[in-house]
């Protein structure tokens, strides 16, 4: 019986080795544009996210800004927007300075991050087809955050942030 199991596992691996697209490119669900589905992205994109998160946590503003592409679309939970690294960092630094002045802790724990990408229907040129997307969640000192990072060639080209305030303690 053990041999049959080993043969079955070997066949599965051989099948994937011979036809990578069927094993790695499974699409599920749907994306915003006609004909799009969602696929898993790459660890490389999650690694870029981890570098962004580490620079942010270390308050390495220059490094953080270097990850942002010019003409990016960056939207904070409070409605503020930025379109390049300098503007992005300026908003973050203001938030940090305000927290320090008010004696608040400025910290978070990253709770998850994964990369996805939409399929690219033939003939489509949708804006979400560029790069891959990382969805990340954070437990912050002032709330819970969910963020989307669109990363292309190691640069942040689109980012949005949602926040849920912490519940009032009774």
Residue 121 lies in a domain: yes
User: Span 129-152, mean pLDDT?
Assistant: 96
What's the structural domain count of the chain? 1
Residue 99 domain flag: yes
Find the domain containing 120 and state its range: 25-165
Is there a domain that residue 16 lies in? no
Token pair 């942002």 is found at 68
Q: Is 10 a member of any domain?
A: no
pLDDT band at 43 (very low <50, low <70, confident <90, very high): very high
Instruction: Please tell me the least confidently modeled range out of 4-13, 137-146, 158-167.
Output: 4-13
Asked, for residue 1, whether it belongs to a domain, the answer is no
Split at pLDDT 50, 70, 90, the class of 25 is low
* Residues above pLDDT 70, as percent of the chain: 84
Residue 60 maps to a domain: yes
54-63 long-range contacts, Cβ below 8 Å, gap at least 24? Answer: 56/92, 57/108, 59/96, 61/89, 61/92, 61/93
Better-predicted residue by pLDDT, 33 or 146: 146
Assess contact for 96 and 59: CB atoms under 8 A.
yes
**Mean pLDDT, the chain, integer:** 87
Q: Domain of 62: which CATH number?
A: 3.10.450.50
Q: Is residue 112 part of a domain?
A: yes
Band of residue 24 on the pLDDT scale cut at 50, 70, 90? low
Q: What is the pLDDT of residues 100-138, one digit of tens each?
A: 999 988 889 999 999 999 998 888 889 999 999 999 999
The whole-angstrom separation of Cα 145 and Cα 137 is: 6
pLDDT given at position 85 = 98
């Amino acid at each position: 019986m053990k041999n049959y199991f080993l043969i079955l596992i070997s066949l599965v691996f051989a099948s994937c080795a011979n036809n990578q697209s069927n094993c790695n490119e499974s699409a599920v669900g749907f994306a915003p544009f006609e004909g799009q589905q969602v696929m898993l992205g790459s660890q490389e994109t999650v690694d870029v996210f981890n570098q962004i998160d580490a620079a942010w946590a270390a308050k390495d503003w220059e490094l953080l800004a270097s990850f942002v592409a010019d003409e990016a679309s960056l939207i904070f939970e409070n409605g503020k927007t930025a379109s390049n690294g300098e503007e992005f960092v300026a908003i973050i630094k203001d938030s940090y300075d305000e927290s320090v002045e008010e004696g608040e802790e400025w910290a978070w724990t990253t709770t998850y991050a994964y990369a996805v990408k939409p399929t690219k229907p033939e003939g489509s040129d949708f804006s979400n087809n560029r790069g891959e997307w990382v969805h990340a969640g954070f437990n912050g000192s002032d709330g819970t955050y969910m963020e989307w990072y669109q990363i292309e060639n190691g640069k942040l080209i689109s980012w949005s942030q949602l926040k849920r305030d912490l519940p009032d303690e009774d």
